[in-house]
Chain A
Amino acid sequence: MEIKSGLQIERTIKPYLIGLALAVLLTAIPFGLAATGVLPRETTLIIIAALAVLQILVHLSFFLHIDFKTTPRENLVALAFALVLIFIMVGGSLWIMFDLYHRMMV
């Protein structure tokens, strides 16, 4: 029998198109806000951050096909642990360094 494909899981075009549509939307809004500057700076930053998180989830789900059913558990654990550590490292570094700036009145 001829080997046609080594894929374990069948891929269809649908998730990629949905992902693309959502990603375009989630990219266009923050770019538009930044370009026009219609909202106050603080509000814009919060929206950009929120949409970025959403878009990461979209990419994980529709492009990387991460979900709670088919993705091996150890991959999810590794991802979750990475997120915790990134939070600790980035959060801790910013806390430490801005605390220092504050104390040195930079």
Chain B
Amino acid sequence: MSSVARMTISPRDAERYEEKDFGFWLYLMSDAVIFACLFATYLVMVGNTAGGPTPKDVFELDRAAAETALLLLSSTTFGVAAVALSAGDRGKVLLWLAVTFLLGAGFIFLEIGEFTGMIAQGAGPDRSGFLSAFFTLVGTHGFHVSVGLVWIVVMFAQVFFKGLTAPVASRFMRLGLFWHFLDIIWVVIFSVVYLPGVL
């Protein structure tokens, strides 16, 4: 299959896609620095609870575990969609994109539940420096996931209407980079925020 694919992309287009991939990779590196700054801030402020709730009071390990499972599974299902793309199977690409979307949406649903629950019990971001840092760090990740969800919808429409053309496939691969990247950030979040928090 892929030999067919290689023949149908002109060298100029191939170069273009390579440039775009590299540019997107650089964006991800820049984004990683954003998260690094947020992690540094969180670590500096995690003790500044101002007499309010501590990490132990507000973190629920079950929920964090469920969120982790959903995101990890969604990364894998996206991989399955990529395999389908590589095989040129449009129906399966659409199916697995939809599954990925549902898993990601489940993650966001759980996270919104977590945030509203915390705010309801007086542990909102305006309560203390620690909570400001927590909401900003985890919320920024959640915002990225939400953008990823919108992107998946757009991707779904493009695959549906345009088919698996070279430009669509190239965008698909960059969406994959984005989605897997967010999973890596989440690994750092549960290792730096949730697990040490409940200890």
Contact = CB atoms under 8 A, between A and B. Distances in A.
Question: Do chains A and B directly touch (beta carbons under 8 Å) in the complex?
Answer: yes
B187 A93 contact: no
Interface string B31-43: 0110011011101
Interface range on chain A: under 10, 10 to 19, 20 to 34, or 35 or more?
35 or more
Interface residues of B, number: 66
Contact of B88 (A4, A49, A72, A93): A4
Of B18, B87, B177, the most chain A CB neighbours within 10 A belong to: B87
A3 B76 contact: no
Interface string B156-170: 000000011111111
Contacts of B80: 13, 16
> Main secondary structure on chain A at its contact with chain B?
helix
B199 A34 contact: yes
Interface in A1-48: 1, 3-13, 15-17, 19-20, 23-24, 27, 30-31, 33-35, 37, 41, 44-45, 48
Given A16-B80, A48-B196, A78 B25 contact: yes
A13 B2 CA distance: 15
Contacts of A10: 1-2, 86
B195 A11 contact: no
A16 B8 contact: no
B170 A6 contact: yes
Given A5-B169, A75-B25, A30 B195 contact: yes
Contacts of B64: 31
Interface in A88-106: 89-90, 93-94, 97-98
Contacts of A78: 22, 25-26, 29
